[in-house]
Structure 1
Amino acid sequence: MVLKLYGFHRDTCTPRVALILREKNVPFEFINVDLTKREQKSPEYMKHQPFGSTPYIDDDGFILFESRAICYYIASKYADQGTPLIPTELKANALFHQAVSMEVTSFNEHVEKIVAEKVWKRFRGETADEANYERHLALLDSKLDVYDGILSKQKYLSGNEITLADLYHIPYGAMLAVGGTDIMEAKPNVKRWWIDITSRPSWVAVKKDLIKLSEDGKW
């Protein structure tokens, strides 16, 4: 049975999962859950995702939600195909988990709020809170100073090999430009890393998928 990905093409967490599926060369069927119609709040959907958000997967009856957990599962299950994304050596694995925590607490924490103000509010016809936007942009800038220092010494966030931790940044990070900021290109080492990871064939393929989906409703 082909793995099924239930999600919404306009959110950020669904493309995160699709990216890892592409990176690991895993076939999947996409089922669009339209957040604008609140399909994620239907009783049937919430049997599988009780928080009423996207995405979740159905892997031959195994149900899993939360995008990073899904990505970790996929990268672990298909460890021997596609790009290795989870280091197995003890210290390398510890550095990987350190980088994963960085993405959640130092990057996503602020990017999520920046995108909410400048992208999602605009999408809903609301007015951005400029003070909140500027506050989180400044906080993100300070965090990216630390990123730049780390990336001055190595190619990726946990070493010289790409991992899930790097790829987790892409879907939300890509929305920053949509929100009107070029902050991902403002620091030399962050810029080099960002161009590297967003140029990967897996992300190029996901972007094409998203365009196709927005045009004809198919992935």
Structure 2
Amino acid sequence: MLKFYFNGSPNPTKVALFLEESGLPFEPVAVDTRKGDQFKPEFLKVNPNAKVPAIDDDGAVVFDSNAILLYLAEKTGKFLPANTPKNRAEMLSWLMFVATGVGPYSGQAVHFRHFAPKDQNHDYAHNRYQFEAHRHYAVLNDHLAGRKYMVGDTYSIVDMALWGWARMAAFVMGDEAAAKYPNVKRLVDEISARPAAARAIALKDKFTFKADMDDEARGNMFRHLKIKAA
């Protein structure tokens, strides 16, 4: 059976959404990154990058959430747009836009908004990542104007990839963000209302994850701080 290594953060949650939508059998394996589970040798064999999510599909190992979505969609034939060159090109373009832009800039925006030490470089970094997060969401908002989904006329892995981070827009950019990008919010709200989305979000509740962002958690989540201190 497919093993799904996850926690409740945005990237694993979008993979959980696909698994719940598709009905593909899977075994969830909790990886508590605040406790440092991602650095255990048995997990590093699955993902040498020490990040969640990852899957082990009977020996076929895939890491990076967007690669997993594409792998599972092609494996099952589900949640792909109509198979035309135009749709294929658009799907890959927007999937990589989420992978290389929306996700990384959202993640760094969250870090500098909520977790980074307030040193002399903080304001510049915070402003930089907030600007880029807003820029990416504006591109998405413009693209979704007059469109129901990201690619073609059907709900696909691109929408799932976007949903993983976009449902956290207020945490990424502040409470005003959702109102500033109504087309993104409309798609997020539609996906969040799906029963599979509720199950994907609730998956983490079957396990106990460390909640405190204490010194242990900061050392495991932000290892550059440990290196700097040493």
TM-score, structure 2 as length reference: 0.78
SS in 1 for 2:61: strand
Residue in 2 that maps onto 1:165? 158
1:132-154 Cα deviation digits (max 9, x unpaired): 33332233323333322221232
| Aligned match for 1:108, one of 100, 103, 111 | 103
Residue in 1 that maps onto 2:202? 208
1:28-57 Cα deviation digits (max 9, x unpaired): 111112212222212222222222222221
- Any gaps of 5 or more consecutive residues in structure 1? none
In 2, Cα distance between equivalents of 1:134 and 1:112: 14
Aligned length: 207
Residue in 2 that maps onto 1:5? 4
Shift of 1:111: 0.9
1:52-108 Cα deviation digits (max 9, x unpaired): 2222212122222222111111111111xxx53344222111111121122134422
Shift of 1:12: 2.7
- Any gaps of 5 or more consecutive residues in structure 2? 210-230
Question: Does 2:156 match 1:153?
Answer: no
What is the root-mean-square deviation of aligned Cα atoms in Å? 2.5
Greater CA drift, 56-65 or 127-136: 127-136
Q: Does the CA contact (< 8 Å) of 1:115 and 1:176 recur in 2? A: no
SS in 2 for 1:35: coil
TM-score, structure 1 as length reference: 0.81
In 1, Cα distance between equivalents of 2:58 and 2:99: 29
Residue in 1 that maps onto 2:214? none
**% of aligned pairs identical?**
27
| Aligned match for 1:24, one of 22, 25, 44 | 22
Could you say if the C-alpha distance between residues 94 and 41 of structure 1 is closer, same or farther in structure 2, counting changes exceeding 3 Å?
same
* Equivalent residue runs for 1:26-41 within 5 Å: 26-41=24-39
| Aligned match for 1:178, one of 162, 171, 176 | 171
